[in-house]
Amino acid sequence: MEKFFKLKEHGTDIKTEVLAGITTFMTMAYILSVNPAMLSLQGTGAENLGMDFGAVFTATALSAVIATLVMALYANLPFALAPGMGLNAFFAYEIVLQMGYSWQFALTAVFLEGIIFILLTLVNVREAIINCIPMNVKKAISVGIGLFIATIGFAGTGLIVTGGGTILDLGNMTNPSVILALIGLVITGVMLVKNVKGALLWGILGTTIIGIPMGVTPMPQAIVSAPPSISSTFLQFDFQNIFTKDMLYVLFVFLFVDMFDTVGTLVGVSTKADMLEADGKVPNASKALMADAIGTTVGACLGTSTTTTFVESAAGVAEGGRTGLTSLVTAIMFAIALFFAPFFAIIPTAATAPALILVGLFMMAPIKEIDFEDFTEAIPAFLTLILMPLTYSIANGIAFGMTSYIILKVLSGRYKEVSWVTYVVGLLFIVKFMV
């Protein structure tokens, strides 16, 4: 393991990497229940239009295993992948419910997206996009993702809600789920103060146990179960409408959001881990992007929406994960989850929320290094970090940060500081805003 993952070179060890990998899995295990519920259209009254819950569960876990293994063994980076939130909602609610297409049509779009990403990665287009992001914006991406992750943690358990005449408001503080999340936040915070190794992981497990007598953590109906069949979703493509305007629109949205969500996650988490190279490049970026592209392609074949690099990888990085051994452990956990679905399903959102909130704190560190004296750097950085949590989108934050960077540099006569690749990316963002 030392030779393959170069643990000492990265200042880590096996115990740290294993704890980091388990922690990453725990913070993103919710996708095993949320993604199948989303794609099967549970709770919408239109379940007959959606996919089979069990099949999507298995496809979700398998795509996470395969993509994360590629990240671990090929890219040697501590990032985990799984079908992403946001794009699965676009898949189910806009393509199927609003546009009226079948889920097979949507699955075909995901497959085509994966193939296109593989080709773009082979010619280093996606890596060039990462490298063209200004350093101050890169640092802001890390901070923005931290705020975004914390927002997910707060909102997921009901600590903050929308309404009351304001954009955001406090939730019901007497709600058992909210109380449990606050207890977990205190417990995990105390362990961090006392430098307990694996504080985030132990916090999740401890909070889950405390939630049992509170009625928040349900008792599992079983411990072990066989993975559901994917026969109903495997290779279920519909190529009849691929040369249509609607397919072009769907592909553009998938490509745009996935590309910049992934780019933002790689840059942000790498910045937090102090893994960026001297010139600001993400190490093994092309290999990481290939893992993402392969995951999307394979996931579509299995029967799930776009597979992407998860921002929750920051939880493992916060625990000290620095190599592919972290993501290898996460992949193994997803493989185990295939057979222990009832057990992993009992971990409530209130137990993982404290970890996400504290990861948000950890990712604030790069804000100290942003140049706030130069407004052509400060304004784009601020727009980047503030719009991610406010719009619930990493891609939107990067879009406003990059376009404002270009506009301010040009209007201040400093256009030579902007590379031609950055101009091209800015133009793509403007096109996206107009669509």
β-strands 160-163, 166-170: how paired? antiparallel
Higher pLDDT, 105 or 129: 105
Q: Please give the Cα distance from 233 to 300 (Å, whole number).
A: 9
Q: Does the pLDDT at position 43 exceed 60?
A: no
63-121 residue pLDDT tens: 999 999 999 999 888 889 998 766 776 677 767 877 778 888 889 988 998 998 888 88
Average pLDDT over residues 305-319: 82
Q: Does the pLDDT at position 228 exceed 80?
A: yes
Please name the residue that has the structure tokens 């625990």: 319
Pick from 238, 252, 392, 234: nearest CA to 298: 234
**pLDDT tier, 6 (very low <50, low <70, confident <90, very high otherwise):** confident
In three-state form (DSSP H/G/I as H, E/B as E, the rest C), the secondary structure along 46-95 is CHHHCCCHHHHHHHHHHHHHHHHHHHHHHHCCCCCEEECCCHHHHHHHHH
323-360 residue pLDDT tens: 889 999 999 999 998 887 777 667 787 887 887 788 78
**pLDDT tier, 199 (very low <50, low <70, confident <90, very high otherwise):** confident
Average pLDDT over residues 177-189: 92
Contact of 381 with 367, CB cutoff 8 Å? no
Q: Please give the Cα distance from 194 to 353 (Å, whole number).
A: 20
Which tokens sit at 120? Answer: 């773009």
Share of the chain above pLDDT 90, in %: 18
Q: Is 308 helix (H, G, I), strand (E, B) or coil?
A: strand
What pLDDT score was predicted for residue 123? 81
> What is the domain partition of the chain in residue ranges?
2-139+150-363
Higher pLDDT, 204 or 258: 204
pTM over 0.75: no
372-402 residue pLDDT tens: 999 999 999 999 889 888 887 767 888 888 8
Burial state string for 272-283 with b = 16 or more CB within 10 A and e = fewer than 16:
bbebbeeebebe
